Amino acid sequence: MEMRYLSIYNKLRKDILEGIYPPSAQLPHLTQLALTLCCSRGTIKRAIRLLQEEGLVVGIRSKGTFVRHGTALLPALQPLKNRFGVLVLSLFSSLAGSYYQYIFKGIEHVANKTKSHLYIIRTRNKTIQEIYQEIHALGITALITVELDDRPLRREIERLRIPIVHADLFDAYSKKHMVLPNNIQGGELAVKKLFEKGHRRFLFLHPYHTYSRVFNRANIMRWKGSSEAAKKLNCVCLWKKVALRVHEEPVVAISRILEKHSHCKGIIVPDSDLLQIVKDVLLEKAPTEAAAYDVVAFSQQEQPTLIHQKPVWYCTWNAEYMGRLAAEIALGKTEKAPRVQYLPMYLTTRV
């Protein structure tokens, strides 16, 4: 898995700072760590090399790797020319989806190319003071945030006097550099594709996230693009229906909406989690009935989605380039970069 060594580095670092491996303690042998953490020895070596560069451990020839004294204080490192951090809200293990992996792959590409030091900094359950302390301790000179959908935290982070770039799905107000997909253009592409397929009545399934009880801001922009494209095509009718309401089974909710709007055979699904539910509902229909439907979904899935052998169109963007561009801007490698950079979206069936 891409970036696996960073996940292991963060785990070992946490164990050291929490005293699971106290000062002077010897870390388990590389082979033992590889078996315990289900990875290769090479991956363990890369993780331990980061711990050595940070000053948390020291390697002694023919004896092993030992935790250094004073690691609990974690004094600030001397700033390096290229030492940047990637700030994420969730635990790294939850960022294993292809979208995040491609972003990190792009960031890592720039880090390797520029011989930069790269650190993943997790923010969940940490105070802003703890985050500041960690950034200072690591000697971070540039920062990239990935999907940091926490407005108060973003405002506090932007107080830092270092280059900051936000890699986001949605367009949020910020005085710092931002790299994000052009969601409005994506909505336009979805409508135009369905129009090309012969549809004149469209259904936009707007997900409502029951856990946070809010609408995704990226999806709001996708709806805006879809509605603007529909107005330009005078013979097009577009309906927006809220999906996944509270206290209602997802499949039941989608089935009810599709039955109520059975005259709409062109469906726009702006949320990848909702795509599987739509697929399940359409698979319950007879193949001849389901064949009348065409679906455009916003998704970073690598594998095609087929509904009775008919492919779903993905509206997507280059997430790896997104990470690469964010890293280049953070390190000052892109001259006179605009504050906000919108990445173009494109359509594919992955077939």
Structural domain boundaries in the chain: 4-67, 83-181+320-343, 183-316
Task: Check pLDDT > 60 for residue 161.
Answer: yes
Q: Stretch 254-268: mean pLDDT, rounded? A: 93
Q: Which CATH number among 3.40.50.2300, 3.20.20.70, 3.20.20.370, 3.40.50.300 corresponds to the domain 183-316?
A: 3.40.50.2300
Residue with tokens 């930069």: 116
pLDDT digits (tens, 9 = 90+) for 295-339: 999 998 888 999 999 999 999 999 999 999 999 999 888 878 889
- Specify whether domain 83-181+320-343 bears CATH 3.40.50.2300: yes
pLDDT digits (tens, 9 = 90+) for 176-213: 999 999 999 999 999 999 999 999 999 999 876 554 44
Same fold, 83-181+320-343 and 183-316: yes
Neighbours of 127 (CB within 10 A): 10
Task: Check pLDDT > 50 for residue 159.
Answer: yes
Task: Check pLDDT > 60 for residue 136.
Answer: yes
Contact 252, 277 (CB under 8 A): no
Residue predicted with more confidence, 246 or 193: 193
pLDDT digits (tens, 9 = 90+) for 217-235: 888 999 999 999 999 998 7
Quick one: tokens of 181?
A: 């997909």
Output the CA–CA distances (angstroms, integers) from residue 296 to 93, 183, 239, 315, in the order listed. 29, 14, 15, 7
pLDDT digits (tens, 9 = 90+) for 203-217: 999 876 554 445 678
Say how far apart CA 143 and CA 164 lie, in whole Å: 5
pLDDT of residue 247: 61
pLDDT of residue 272: 83
Task: Check pLDDT > 60 for residue 82.
Answer: yes
pLDDT of residue 210: 52
Say how far apart CA 307 and CA 124 lie, in whole Å: 38
Q: Stretch 37-45: mean pLDDT, rounded? A: 89
Instruction: Return all residues near 351 (Cβ < 8 A) that are at least 6 apart.
Output: 304, 311
How does residue 244 score in pLDDT terms, banded at 50, 70 and 90? low
CA-closest candidate to residue 282, choices 301, 309, 317: 309
**3-class secondary-structure state, position 6:** helix
Rounded to the nearest 10°, the torsion over CA 290, 302, 192, 205 is 60
Say how far apart CA 6 and CA 77 lie, in whole Å: 19
Task: Check pLDDT > 60 for residue 144.
Answer: yes
**112 exposure class (CB count in 10 Å sphere: 0-12, 13-18, 19+):** exposed
Q: Any idea which fold 4-67 has?
A: Arc Repressor Mutant, subunit A (1.10.10)
Output the CA–CA distances (angstroms, integers) from residue 105 to 7, 98, 108, in the order listed. 13, 10, 5
Residue predicted with more confidence, 120 or 326: 326
Residue with tokens 């469906």: 267
Say how far apart CA 149 and CA 133 lie, in whole Å: 21
The pTM score is 0.76
Quick one: tokens of 210?
A: 């029951």
Give the percent of the chain with pLDDT over 90.
41
Task: Check pLDDT > 70 for residue 24.
Answer: yes
Contact 38, 8 (CB under 8 A): no
Quick one: tokens of 34?
A: 């590889």
Of 60-64, 73-77, 232-236, 320-324, which has the strongest mean pLDDT?
320-324
Kind and range of the H or E element at 67?
strand 64-67
Of 13-17, 83-87, 118-122, 326-330, which has the strongest mean pLDDT?
326-330
Tell me the sheet residues that pair with 281.
none
Instruction: Return all residues near 109 (Cβ < 8 A) that are at least 6 apart.
Output: 320, 323, 324, 327
Task: Check pLDDT > 90 for residue 343.
Answer: yes
